[in-house]
């Protein structure tokens, strides 16, 4: 399989800027993992002529066209009509899809009758492969015509993601000789340019697996992608590369195929049956929020204190007034006292704290924007780290919370904390 793909998103709401085309991002990531090149994204509105023009052009330069959006029941939804016309297919009624739509409605709205326009969604191109939709009403589909393969997916991001993952990817893999498997190492504590510079020579000579670096908000990723006859063989191509990378980057690698630092921390806490609490100043609740974004956090996360004012650092966390007077709220000493106070007040095994200057202005002691202290209190003592978290309020808070999670991860895996 050596496809050249083009993505066409259909929806006036995209051209008005009501939403961003995140479907294209998600599909591009997935197609890249499958080794399929994407050369163009196009967005058109709910307009048959302009959609037709985009499809006719795509036919001349791609052998895989994936559309998103325009499959629903309202008159705006035109993708199937236009695509069928462009490829000389008739739309035919599919009773199986109609029944699924009726069932979906009965389940979701037991109290009101389904309007007939919903059954338009069961009209599908003759001879297509139907992608049944367990996450909404509009089925997707795929067909091949004149050497071009077409896949149509619904537009709502949640449906599009699920339909791509559970319907389109298996369909594409069935067409391929062999499989494509990838594995993503997640790193914290190294910059993107340092990571890339270290790997430049290796990456240039690698063909299978390939290695792709990514960076976002203070974190880095390395994706290893192998093509092979079967899954087992792909894994055995990936394993030595992973070992080599782990050798190079050591304990900066915090996991493989894992979503985030807080997921790594949650797994470690559960495995070691330890509880966590937080004491937050500049991060203002972000560390607790990230922890509780994860289902199942309640097993190990007890809670936290957002001590945004000095009074609450004193009254709730018991930070001594003289520490605050002498060193100021943004100091290693206060970070330490906050973490220790949270551990005591919340009755947890471990507590992390963050105090710093998120900006836009320096604090009243002249500490610069971006200076943050994070601390971890444990039964073996308290660790403090000084961080320069860059600039921009959001970035500073994000990076500060990364560091708090990194302290917990390093402690629970027995690594040196510095």
Instruction: Give the residue, chosen from 48, 73, 255, 303, that forms a contact with a second copy under the rule CB under 8 A.
Output: 303
Among the listed residues 225, 278, 331, 398, the single contact to a second copy using CB under 8 A? 278
Residues 392-411 that bind a second copy (CB under 8 A): 392-394, 397
* HSE value, Cβ hemisphere, 13 Å, CA-based, for 119: 12
CB of 22 to a second copy, least distance (A): 5
Q: Does 73 bind a second copy (CB under 8 A)?
A: no
Q: Which of 88, 110, 295, 414 binds a second copy (CB under 8 A)?
A: 295
* Number of residues lying near a second copy (CB under 8 A): 71
Sign of CA dihedral 403, 407, 408, 410: positive
Q: Cβ contacts of residue 311 below 8 Å, gap of 6+?
A: none
CA distance 270 to 349: 12
CB of residue 320 to a second copy, shortest distance in Å? 18
Instruction: Return the residues of window 169-198 that contact a second copy according to CB under 8 A.
Output: none
Q: Are 273 and 302 in contact (CB under 8 A)?
A: no
Work out which of 127, 250, 347, 368 binds a second copy, going by CB under 8 A.
Answer: 347
Quick one: which of 307, 333, 355, 398 contacts a second copy (CB under 8 A)? 307
Residue showing tokens 């496809």: 3
CB nearer to a second copy: pick between 280 and 340: 280
How far is it, in rounded angstroms, from Cα 71 to Cα 41? 19
Residue list 77-116, contact with a second copy (CB under 8 A): none
* 16-35 b/e (C-beta count within 10 Å ≥ 16 → b): eeeeebebbebbbebbbbbb
Interacting residues with a second copy between 208 and 247 (CB under 8 A):
212, 214
CA 82 – CA 69 distance, rounded (Å): 12
First to last CA, the chain: 48
Rounded-to-integer distance, Cα 13 and Cα 157, Å:
13
Least spacing, CB of residue 209 vs a second copy, in Å: 16
The distance of closest approach from Cβ of residue 32 to a second copy in the complex, given in angstroms and rounded to an integer, is: 5
Residue that is written with structure tokens 């006719």 in the block:
56
Binding window for a second copy (CB under 8 A); candidates: 67-75, 115-123, 306-314, 377-385 = 306-314
The binder of a second copy chosen from 190, 237, 267, 312 (CB under 8 A): 312
Stretch that binds a second copy, among 49-57, 132-140, 148-156, 194-202 (CB under 8 A): 49-57
Q: How far is CA 200 from CA 185, 193, 221, 337, in A?
A: 17, 10, 15, 44
Residues 353-382 that bind a second copy (CB under 8 A): 358-360
Query: What minimum distance in Å lies between the beta carbon of 9 and a second copy?
Result: 8
């Amino acid at each position: 399989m050596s496809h050249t793909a083009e993505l066409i998103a259909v929806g006036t709401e995209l051209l008005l800027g009501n939403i961003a085309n995140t479907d294209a991002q998600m599909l591009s990531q997935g197609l890249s993992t499958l080794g399929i090149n994407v050369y163009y994204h196009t967005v058109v509105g709910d307009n048959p002529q302009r959609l037709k023009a985009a499809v006719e052009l795509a036919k001349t330069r791609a052998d895989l066209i994936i559309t998103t959006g325009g499959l629903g029941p309202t008159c705006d939804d035109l993708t199937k009509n236009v695509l069928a016309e462009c490829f000389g297919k008739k739309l035919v009624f599919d009773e199986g899809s109609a029944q699924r739509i009726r069932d979906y409605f009965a389940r979701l709205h037991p109290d009101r009758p389904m309007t007939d326009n919903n059954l338009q969604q069961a009209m599908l191109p003759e001879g297509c492969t139907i992608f049944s939709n367990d996450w909404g009403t509009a089925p997707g589909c795929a067909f091949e015509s004149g050497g071009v393969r077409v896949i149509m997916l619904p537009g709502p991001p949640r449906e599009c993601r699920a339909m791509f993952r559970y319907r389109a990817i298996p369909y594409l893999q069935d067409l391929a000789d062999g499989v494509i498997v990838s594995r993503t190492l997640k790193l914290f504590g190294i910059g993107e340019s340092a990571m890339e510079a270290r790997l430049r020579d290796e990456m240039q000579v690698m063909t299978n697996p390939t290695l792709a670096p990514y960076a976002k908000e203070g974190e880095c990723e390395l994706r290893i992608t192998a093509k092979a006859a079967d899954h087992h063989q792909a894994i055995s191509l990936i394993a030595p590369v992973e070992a080599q990378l782990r050798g190079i980057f050591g304990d900066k690698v915090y996991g493989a195929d894992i979503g985030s630092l807080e997921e790594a921390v949650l797994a470690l806490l559960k495995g070691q049956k330890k509880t966590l609490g937080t004491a937050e100043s500049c991060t203002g609740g972000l560390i607790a929020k990230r922890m509780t974004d994860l289902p199942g956090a309640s097993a190990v996360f007890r809670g936290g204190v957002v001590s945004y004012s000095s009074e609450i650092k004193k009254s709730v966390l018991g930070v001594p007034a003289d520490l605050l007077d002498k060193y100021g709220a943004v100091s290693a000493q206060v970070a330490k006292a906050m973490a220790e106070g949270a551990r005591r007040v919340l009755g947890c095994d471990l507590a992390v704290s963050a105090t710093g200057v998120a900006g836009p202005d320096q604090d009243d002691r002249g500490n610069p924007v971006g200076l943050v202290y994070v601390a971890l209190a444990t039964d073996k003592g308290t660790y403090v780290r000084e961080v320069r978290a860059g600039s921009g309020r959001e970035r500073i808070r994000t990076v500060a919370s990364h560091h708090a999670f990194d302290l917990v991860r390093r402690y629970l895996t027995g690594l040196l904390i510095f």
